[in-house]
A and B are shown apart, each in its own frame.
Chain A
Amino acid sequence: MDILKQLYEMTAFGDLIANPGPLLMLAIAGVLLYLGIKKQYEPLLLVPIAFGVLLANLPGGQMGVVPGDLIDLGDHRYMNLFEIAHEYGIMNYLYYALIKTGLLPPIIFMGVGALTDFGPMLRNLRLSLFGAAAQLGIFTVLLVAIAVGFTPNEAGSLAIIGGADGPTAIYTTIKLAPHLLGPIAIAAYSYMALVPVIIPLIVRLTCSEKELKINMKEMDKLYPPKHKIKNLKAVKIAFPIVLGIVISFFVPSSVPLLGMLLFGNLVKEIGATTLRLSEAASGPIMNAATIFLGLTVGATMTSEVFLDAKTIGIIVGGFVAFAISVSGGIGAVKIYNLIAKKKINPLIGATGLSAVPMASRVANEIALKYDSKNHVLQYCMASNISGVIGSAVAAGVLISFLG
């Protein structure tokens, strides 16, 4: 009988019966894996995050990330990485070395920069302003979240989901409310994956058929742009350098994200001489960073952290932020159209989010449904790319005020 009892104690069944939370988390990991693998919702991130959740909740696996106060030795002293690995396992080592330091989101931004083409934005610079209007959801939900009981730091982390930018949401949360990292990352990436559902829904509710039929190319013919770019390559090389310097003067806290984005973009635009750097930034480095980011963020989602009323608040609040951001962009276009001769398709406002290029592709498909000759992709990309800059600036503002 004693042997059986010892066997039972050796297994994890006793713990699971006493505390069934991890079982629920394993089920959630299963759902996320299904969404990533079968439904292909942001699989590059959702699969590592889901597997991180799985690893963190395997009983006795020591793969769950422990709260920061356990590594705090007091008097602003912390356990070193060797001690963390020895005491709490390799997942905590990775989390505190790569995530808690804020290292991986800027690294991913560098890769995003190396994959970004500022060309469409430079050709339609005026449309960039709609990327600012689409950040409205961030600051509105911040207000609502505080009203329903979130602390300002938690509310800031929740609200940044409205920027529709995964690395930005993660970076802001690391700085402001690291204990909410798991649910916020999941919400941010889930809503980004749901862009093809959310944008058409908001557009249907807010735009008329006449507005959606506004043909941008026809408008360009009627009112041609003042300056034609004669040497696009030179403009594309100068742009990230000048912009990086100027933004750093105004919002210094956005430099880690935007600076790396612009560096990645610069090495891409220089061309053949820095091709290897650009390929490394957008390929192996970004892929490795994505794997570790996904796994470690997933590993923060232990049952004690995730099964909380705040998680529901984050999921609902994230959706509201996202929806207000899309509506904010559309609203700004509508206001602009009231006063300008050269009308703009409101779909361009709807893509002021930072979900590049999915938001633009979805908007283009909607435009083509109403008019098969109305290709708005290039125009949408202008506000879409400026949305990346806008959400990083919004994150910088939140961090400098609340951090």
Chain B
Amino acid sequence: MNGNFEIALQLLGIGMLTVFLILFLVVFLGNIIIRFVNRFIPPVETKTSRTNVVQPAISTGKMAAIVAAVQAVTEGKGKVVNV
């Protein structure tokens, strides 16, 4: 029993230390990745030329309502191609 208790005490120390260490690494690595990406992989800006933009014949509010309704009815499978 005493031997088992010693193992449990060891595990309490080692286990909590390991979990903290790993989550500390998560924080550290996360920060490194964020800095690296911010520096070397900037977000790609999508440029849209004015000539390509087609003014919708329907208001954006109505369009959003139609898209939401189609998604609700088709459980996300349907797409609004044309109105």
Please report A residues at the B interface, Cβ cutoff 8 Å.
121-122, 125-126, 128-129, 131-133, 135-136, 138-140, 142-143, 146-147, 151-152, 155-156, 227-231, 233-235, 238-239, 242-243, 246-247, 250-251, 386, 389-390, 393-394, 397-398, 401-402
> A138: which B residues are within 8 A, CB to CB?
15
Q: Does B61 contact A (CB under 8 A)?
A: no
B46 CB, nearest partner CB in chain A, Å: 13
Structural contact, A246 and B25, CB atoms closer than 8 A: yes
Binding site for A on B (CB under 8 A): 1, 4-5, 7-12, 14-16, 18-27, 29-31, 33-38, 41-43
Closest A-B pairs by Cβ, 6 of them: A139-B12, A132-B23, A231-B43, A143-B8, A132-B20, A132-B19
A143-B9, A238-B37, A394-B18 given; 16 more Cβ-contact pairs under 8 Å:
A122-B34, A125-B30, A129-B27, A133-B20, A138-B15, A143-B12, A147-B5, A155-B8, A229-B37, A231-B41, A234-B41, A235-B30, A238-B33, A242-B33, A386-B26, A390-B22
- Is there an interface contact between B38 and A250, defined as CB atoms closer than 8 Å? no
A389 touches B18 (CB 8 A): no
Contact of A151 among B4, B11, B25, B37 (CB under 8 A): B4
Output the nearest chain A residue to B10 by Cβ-Cβ distance: A401
On chain A, the residues within 8 Å of B41 by CB distance are 231, 234
A142 to B19, CA, bound (A): 16
The answer to whether B26 touches A250, judged by C-beta atoms less than 8 angstroms apart, is: no
Considering the complex, give the chain A residue whose CB is closest to the CB of B28. Answer: A125
- The verdict on A229 contacting B29 (CB below 8 Å), with A139-B12, A394-B15 known, is no
CB closest residue in chain B, given A138 = B15
A230 touches B19 (CB 8 A): no
CA distance A135 to B14 in the complex (A): 12
- B64 to chain A minimum Cβ distance, whole angstroms, is 22
Known: A393-B18, A394-B15. A230 touches B27 (CB 8 A): no
Decide if A125 touches B15 in the complex (CB within 8 Å): no
* Most A C-beta atoms less than 10 A away, residue of B9, B26, B43: B26
Q: Is B38 a contact partner of A227 (Cβ separation < 8 A)?
A: yes
Q: Which residues does chain B contribute within 8 Å of A126, judged by CB atoms?
A: 27
CB contact between B34 and one of A151, A155, A229 (< 8 Å): that residue: A229
Evaluate contact between B30 and A239: CB separation under 8 angstroms: yes
| CB<8 Å pairs between A and B, sample of 19 | A122-B34, A125-B31, A128-B30, A132-B23, A132-B24, A138-B15, A139-B8, A143-B9, A146-B7, A151-B4, A229-B34, A234-B37, A234-B43, A246-B29, A250-B25, A390-B19, A394-B15, A397-B18, A398-B15
CA distance A152 to B8 in the complex (A): 7
**Contact yes or no, A239 B33, CB < 8 A:** yes
Are B34 and A397 touching (Cβ within 8 A)?
Answer: no
CB within 8 A of A140: which of B1, B12, B22, B31?
B12
Taking the nearest CB of chain B, how far is it from the CB of A180, in angstroms?
17
Known: A122-B30, A238-B33. A129 touches B24 (CB 8 A): yes
Q: Which of B21, B22, B36 has the most CB of A within 10 A?
A: B22
Establish whether residues A389 and B22, one from each chain, have CB atoms under 8 Å apart when the complex forms. yes
Contacts of A139 on B, CB cut-off 8 Å? Answer: 8, 11-12, 15-16
A125-B27, A231-B38, A386-B26 in contact; A143/B5 too (CB < 8 A)? yes
Give, as a whole number of angstroms, the nearest-CB distance from B71 to chain A: 16
**CB–CB B21/A250 < 8 A:** yes
Closest to B13 in A: A139
Query: Among A239, A246, A397, which residue has its beta carbon within 8 angstroms of that of B15?
Result: A397
Closest to B43 in A: A231
Asked whether A128 lies within 8 Å of B15 as measured between CB atoms, the reply is no
What are the residues of chain B within 8 A of A135 when measuring CB–CB?
15-16, 19
Pair B8/A142 contact, Cβ less than 8 Å: yes
B42–A247 contact, CB under 8 A? no
Q: Is the CB of A132 within 8 A of B7?
A: no
- Which partner residue on chain B sits nearest A249 by CB separation? B25
A132 contact set on B, CB distance < 8 A: 16, 19-20, 22-24
**Residues in A whose Cβ lies below 8 Å from that of B10:** 401
The listed residue (B4, B23, B24, B29) touching A146 by CB distance below 8 A is: B4
B17 CB to closest chain A CB, in angstroms? 9
The residues of A that contact B42 with a CB separation of less than 8 Å are 230-231
